[in-house]
Structure 1
Amino acid sequence: MKLARNLLVVAALGLAACKVATQDSNSAQPQAAAAIAPILTTPDAKDDASYARPLEARVHHVKLDLAVDFNAKRVGGTATLDIDRKPDAKEIILDDKGLEIASIADGAGQPLDYKVGAADEKLGAPLAITLRPDTKRLVIKYKSAPDAGALQWLTPEQTAGKKRPYLFSQGQAIENRSWIPTQDSPGIRQTWEATIRVPAGLTAVMSAPKSAEPITQGGESIFSYKMPHSVAPYMIAIAVGDLAFRELGPRTGVWTEPVMLDRAAAELADTEKMVEAAEKLYGPYRWGRYDVIVLPPAFPYGGMENPTLTFLTPTFIAGDKSLVGLVAHELAHSWSGNLVTNATWADSWLNEGFTSYFENRIMEALYGTKRASQEAALSFDDLNDALTEEGATAPITRLNLPKEQAVADGGSTGIVYDKGAVFLRTIERTVGREKWDAYLRSYFDRHAFQPMTSALFLADLRKNLIKGDQALEARLQLDRWVYQPGLPDNVARPDPAAFAAIDQAVAQFAGGGPVPTAFDQWTTAEKLRFLNKLPRKMDKSRLDALNGTLRLNQAANQEVLFAWLSLAVANRYDPALPPLEQFLSAQGRGKFVRPLIQALAKDTQWGRPIAARIYAKTRPLYHSIVTRDLDELGLLGAAPQPAG
């Protein structure tokens, strides 16, 4: 990795960046040898969403020994952190969001002074720990708060099986600091291991390979996991519940509640083929197994790319594999995001834009050019919607976000995901697919298990693809794409034929024509294109015609149902209220829940009372990632109910 060594300016912590860790001088037991991931020192790699100062002292390994308490809604125990430091470092700063610290000691058991600083509502607080000259290990006894932002506790009634409680975590972007004391920044990669104790009869799974067989003793079951590769801290994930497993292929499988297993496994039947297709594109899958877990519907995202164990919403299960692009997306993160990770949230497009492009290539390899072309065109629609909503000259439409927008979970989905993907597709069309694929494969090889910034990516691109070709440099407009708002004029636009027949059907219906009778034979992408392109204002008779002919209130595909309900809410269509309430009560995916409740709340005469009534009932189902936005609408008054 000669180029990586040239480009990555590594912190001088008294150790080489990839030095093999040695035994702590004040520890009774040796640490397993592991490469320490580099820390970037360029100004654009400074993470303003973390209190850590990794150039002085940084965490490189986390060992957890935790018990899960469903009654108290807490996890608690010990976190042992191995650190790398400058010889003269006086303290190390961790990220803390509501942790209840009992004690902190070094590896020999000697107490260390510590102080929790002033808290910020979003970032939490700095946890400053005083270091002795020989301190290389921290032992922290603690427990999480009952309202820890990363953890969602579900009652048996909120699960599919209705028998046992459930816990899952969602760490991205900066929520893991609410249950793990560490430096919670994507640029500070860490290896980790965990021993998890849960009530007997429940199963704990994590985003790492199993390191020992589970045992049950004294009314509890004990599970052990170990991640040998350095990962961003937000990728440490856990789920605990009544779980069953089924193999999908030699290295793929699915976990979920037993009552969900048949449906989930059927929908995920092509997972092993997806891994094979991804490897043919951009090199070996380096994480061992690729398993997924289909979570209860309260999970706030479509999916989360936790290494070795993708977390998935059950809303992707349509019965016909029409929404498995979600699985392809999370799998692609095993290269773009997990293997090579944005160093700060200003550059989250390096994760999501790359992955959205890669997802589309996997879908093309498995399901053909037509499907991939249509899904790319839908993505381009989302990009145009974002540019319209934000304004084409708004700073938030940059790929590399300026400081004001570069907050954790900041930016616009239409930009971070869709503009990023279109940028890479534009490079592909300019240089040719064969040349572009060879570059991307080498990029993942060069920077495996390392952080990345926009500036480093562009430098790598210029060195290894452009190679001084000034005419090519001018055609690509790289800096314009990354550092300027809007779309450059060299953008690779979608195939106009992808939805030609659908757009004609839209025009005909919008002009007073009949409901398209071929709707049931259309692909999901075609159905979404039709519903999303219809005029936003329609009279009840036209909505009645749509609903009566197409049975949209009964749509089983959750994406299609969401598109229909969005149109219905925009037109105060009362016949859609029963399925709307059922939809909002049955799942907590932010992509669906936020815009529907927000649209209702904006309609003060018709929609707001409906939103208030539904939200009062559904809020306990939703994750705090969703409720913190919806609470701002004031639907519940000054004192919103606590989330799970």
Structure 2
Amino acid sequence: MRRTRRRIRPALAVAVVAALVFAACTDGGDERGGFRPGAADLGDPYVPGAGNGGYDVAGYRLAVRYDPATDRLAGRAALTATATTGLSRFNLDLAGLDVSRVAVDGRPAGSARDGDELVVTPRDGLARGARFVVEVDYSGVPAARADGQLGSGGFLHTDDGAIALGQPWSAATWFPVNDHPSDKATYDVEVTVPDGLAALSNGVPGERTSAGGWTTWRWAERSPMASYLTTLVIGDYRVRSGTHAGKPMVTAVPASLPENGPEAASLARTGEIADFLASRFGPYPFDSYGGVVVTDARIGYALETQSRPVYGPGFFRGGRPNPGVVAHELAHQWFGNSVALSRWSDIWLNEGFASYAEWLWEEHDGGRTAQRNFELEYAATDWSRPSVDPGRSRLFGAAVYKRGALAVHALRRTVGDETFFRVLRTWTAERRDGNATTDDLIALAERVAGKPLRPFFDAWLVGGSAPALP
């Protein structure tokens, strides 16, 4: 039985989703002087319970102290945000930690816990458009959380420290957050750990100070970042700091690994690979480069944590460098990080382009051509599985990664190299630091190519049978 062809619905679908999200920003209860509670859930069906409505975060300032001997974390988070509707109260995502103080604009605020939600009630309502700062003091033993196909994510305790990592969520296990990629923000992070341990995070490294047996590491990510792209890696690491193209380059490998092993050799090519991708996608979008290798077997993936991807141990088991995975995660700095998702059902926009970048890099590095990889993957693809809206259980499935890459290369074949790379560079320039949907990409591709392309994208991304080769 042939599956009915599915069609990517045009802008009407986007408008409906936007209306639903707007409606979710308030609920009907607890009105005070025209103010209403913000929603406890942004309504993304792929991550039920994640994100909150009624405000937009501009920046996070995090100061945390972690003691591996006791597994205890103590932190203070200051979030600068703007109310998008009149708020009587609002929620933050926070899993399993105790809150001792909450203040809004320096004044004590009420707080309550509701599962993994922190409900904050300011002394006075927040008017629509009001800019406010909420401070939260919290502590406890942070925990991992099951996040489906990738296994355990969140805050993972290790033999010598901890790793905070995971997709589609992880941030709420170590700080209060609006935990959905549609609300990107800047980050300033201070991490205090016992002397001798490294504490790695996103962005540009700042001044490192020591006192009383503790060292504070400072990091700043000035480009807006989705919360799942934050990371914290603490432990005994060999940290290398330098510059590339005038920007800081920070890489780290566990001290237990050989100094010149395949892990370090792979990270050493970060600058070279980033420069190659920039020649195809446009300027590198962030203020720093780097990467971190971890050895914890629970991390069976690599993740494109912004400006500093984290690579699990499985990518180096062959004893040889693996520049392909570096190319994949670095490509995400453009596709997925700088241009981020508006909703998780469009995850192919991240993974399809990053998978295609592996093909581009392999060809550049003397391996199979992108065309040959396209031919092999085309023959092996299950066309009954869509790339767009793949379903929660297939969020990281082959249709998202490989069929997505097929669509990217087929677009190249359809419009020609000059137009294709102009589409990519225009996309990364116009959508830089923002969010986007599949419909946004189709509209841009049609504008740059000067012809209708929706039937093409329908066939390659959601059609139920193999499309004709271009």
**Which TM-score bucket, shorter chain as reference?**
0.7 to 0.9
Pick the aligned partner of 1:231 from 217, 225, 237.
225
Gaps of 5+ in 2: 1-13, 20-41, 146-153
Q: After superposition, give the CA deviation of every residue in 1:153-205 in whole Å (9 maximum; x if it has no partner).
A: 122xxxxxxxxx13111132112212121110011101111111101111111
Pick the aligned partner of 2:84 from 83, 86, 93.
86
Q: Answer yes or no: is the 8 Å Cα contact 1:87–1:133 preserved in 2.
A: no
Q: Distance in 1 between matches of 2:63 and 2:200?
A: 14
Q: Distance in 2 between matches of 1:206 and 1:62?
A: 14
The equivalent residue for 1:362 is: 361
Q: Does 1:302 align with 2:301?
A: yes
Q: Answer yes or no: is the 8 Å Cα contact 1:99–1:143 preserved in 2.
A: yes
Q: Distance in 2 between matches of 1:106 and 1:375?
A: 54
Q: Does 1:152 align with 2:140?
A: no
RMSD between aligned residues: 2.8
C-alpha spacing 1:61/1:329, structure 2 compared with 1 (3 Å): same
1:261-276, aligned counterparts within 5 Å?
261-263=259-261, 264-276=263-275
Q: Distance in 1 between matches of 2:377 and 2:289?
A: 26
Greater helix fraction, Structure 1 or Structure 2 = 1
**Larger CA deviation: 93-102 vs 127-136:** 127-136
C-alpha spacing 1:357/1:256, structure 2 compared with 1 (3 Å): same
How far does residue 143 in structure 1 lie from its aligned partner after superposition?
2.3
The equivalent residue for 1:159 is: none
Q: Taking structure 2 as the reference length, what is the TM-score of the superposition?
A: 0.80
The equivalent residue for 1:447 is: 431
Q: Answer yes or no: is the 8 Å Cα contact 2:419–2:448 preserved in 1.
A: no
The equivalent residue for 1:176 is: 171
The equivalent residue for 2:25 is: none
How far does residue 362 in structure 1 lie from its aligned partner after superposition?
2.3
Greater strand fraction, Structure 1 or Structure 2 = 2
Q: Does 1:75 align with 2:70?
A: no
1:423-572, aligned counterparts within 5 Å?
423-465=407-449, 467=450, 469-470=451-452, 473=453, 477-482=456-461, 484-491=462-469
Q: Answer yes or no: is the 8 Å Cα contact 2:102–2:135 preserved in 1.
A: yes
C-alpha spacing 1:215/1:62, structure 2 compared with 1 (3 Å): same
Q: Distance in 2 between matches of 1:378 and 1:204?
A: 42
Larger Rg belongs to? 1
Q: Distance in 2 between matches of 1:267 and 1:45?
A: 36
C-alpha spacing 1:324/1:87, structure 2 compared with 1 (3 Å): closer
C-alpha spacing 1:126/1:253, structure 2 compared with 1 (3 Å): closer
Q: Distance in 2 between matches of 1:147 and 1:357?
A: 35
The equivalent residue for 2:341 is: 342
Q: Distance in 2 between matches of 1:171 and 1:412?
A: 13
Residue 136 of structure 1 aligns to a residue whose secondary structure is strand
The equivalent residue for 2:255 is: 258
**Larger CA deviation: 219-228 vs 169-178:** 169-178
**Larger CA deviation: 66-75 vs 422-431:** 66-75
1:363-382, aligned counterparts within 5 Å?
363-368=362-367, 370=368, 372=370, 376=374, 379-380=377-378
Q: Does 1:100 align with 2:104?
A: no
In the alignment, residue 244 of structure 1 is paired with which amino acid? R
Q: Answer yes or no: is the 8 Å Cα contact 1:45–1:187 preserved in 2.
A: no
The equivalent residue for 1:549 is: none
How far does residue 76 in structure 1 lie from its aligned partner after superposition?
1.8
Q: Answer yes or no: is the 8 Å Cα contact 2:102–2:136 preserved in 1.
A: yes
Q: Answer yes or no: is the 8 Å Cα contact 1:45–1:343 preserved in 2.
A: no
Q: Distance in 2 between matches of 1:293 and 1:478?
A: 36
Residue 65 of structure 1 aligns to a residue whose secondary structure is strand
Compare relative contact order (CA 8 Å, sep 6+) and give the higher one, 1 or 2: 2
Gaps of 5+ in 1: 1-6, 12-42, 120-124, 156-164, 493-644
The equivalent residue for 2:22 is: none
- For these two proteins, the number of residue pairs brought into alignment is 415
Q: After superposition, give the CA deviation of every residue in 1:512-537 in whole Å (9 maximum; x if it has no partner).
A: xxxxxxxxxxxxxxxxxxxxxxxxxx
The equivalent residue for 1:112 is: 109
The equivalent residue for 1:608 is: none
C-alpha spacing 1:49/1:371, structure 2 compared with 1 (3 Å): same
The equivalent residue for 1:286 is: 285
C-alpha spacing 1:227/1:253, structure 2 compared with 1 (3 Å): closer
The equivalent residue for 1:219 is: 213
The equivalent residue for 2:6 is: none
How far does residue 296 in structure 1 lie from its aligned partner after superposition?
1.2
Q: After superposition, give the CA deviation of every residue in 1:191-226 in whole Å (9 maximum; x if it has no partner).
A: 1111111011111110121122x1111111111111
